[in-house]
Homo-oligomer: A and B are copies of this chain.
Amino acid sequence: MEHGFPLPPGAVIGILGGGQLGRMLALAAARLGFDVAILTPETDAPASRVARQTLVGAYDDPDALARLADLSDVITYEFENVPAAAVERLKALGAPVAPSGLALAVAQDRVAEKTFLNEAGVRTVAFATVDSEDEALEAARLIGVPALMKTRREGYDGKGQAWVEHAADAGAVFAGLGGVPCILEAPADFTRELSIIAARGRDGALAVYPLGENHHEGGVLRRTVAPAPAAAALVDQAERIAAQILGRLDYVGVIGIELFELADGRLLANEIAPRVHNTGHWTQDGCEVCQFEQHIRAVAGWPLGPTAAHARVEMVNLLGAEAEAWLKLAGEAETRLHLYGKREALPGRKMGHVNRLSPL
């Protein structure tokens, strides 16, 4: 560390995580003249191959964290399951970390998350905490069935969750998830899943992208269409939610907020991701400043960039062997191809995405 905010070009952005989000952050940082240092437990990680420096180590390895703090002028992360202790350690070493530990703490625990959202005036589905089989039964009576049991921590892309169809089965479902702390959520009777990608700068300025409409398959994001068709009132509602969340977290960086649109037009918040987000990949080819550059701008203390769309985009994830269609995709005039440099196309693994453009 040698620079204050705003960080000058040539400063070093440290990134915890070496996957595709870290890679695309590193590419955006390079465009602005920054150097990038990655901490990842993997050798040959996708982000490492475009970073100036990589530290291979565990996220809670004290030596690796000390080296990263020493190298970096600011440290950010590409995933929300960074150990809280790692962020504390980096802070103790004097390294600025953005987004802050509070955002991580909220995002890492589904109960803390929904509690935070409700306290911020943002509606969610009804939920109850489940720490035992007895509490599971009680929660199922309280929430009603069917209801969705999820582990409070970890779990993504549909993992770590199961439906409770009959209240009497709630205990068994809890046990089936490993008996770890859980949350029981009422189902949302939504008509659409939307998300809003937003950013907050070190000066408190907000920048909000147009809404994306998301389609999942098997718990994994399949595609996002953006800007999503939406009346002005709906956009206002979403932007208000983003402002409430970002302000209350004193947030710095890009956030992804998943929303449910109900039949009556109300929005519920489902989940927040304190990082760049898969449902924001469309901004790479649909907006002048994409979510990756926006995140780098925010954490570096730069002014935020414009967020208006100049094209309509259908973002489609390339999962596993789907990425083998690269040659066909590269030949489609309206298709922009983004591949992550992953070596093995394991089934369901996110290998890349395409942004298919059409006029607004």
Chain A residues engaging chain B, CB cutoff 8 angstroms = 6, 8-10, 23, 26-27, 30-36, 48-52, 285, 288-289, 297, 302-303, 305-306, 310-311, 323, 326-327, 330-331, 333-334, 336-341, 343, 352, 357
Contact = CB atoms under 8 A, between A and B. Distances in A.
Contacts of A305: 330, 333
B10 A341 contact: yes
Nearest to A297: B330
Contacts of A23: 30
Most B-side CB within 10 Å, residue of A23, A310, A331, A341 = A341
Contacts of A336: 288-289
A265 to B, nearest CB: 31
Nearest to A311: B310
Nearest to A24: B31
10 contacts: A9-B339, A10-B341, A27-B31, A33-B339, A33-B341, A50-B52, A285-B288, A288-B336, A303-B327, A306-B334
A288 B336 CA distance: 8
A341 B27 contact: no
A27 B50 contact: yes
A101 B152 CA distance: 61
Contacts of A10: 341, 343
A333 B306 contact: yes
Contacts of A48: 52
A30 B341 contact: yes
Contacts of A33: 326, 339-341, 352
Nearest to A26: B50
Contact of A35 (B26, B36, B289, B341): B341
A229 to B, nearest CB: 21
A297 B329 CA distance: 12
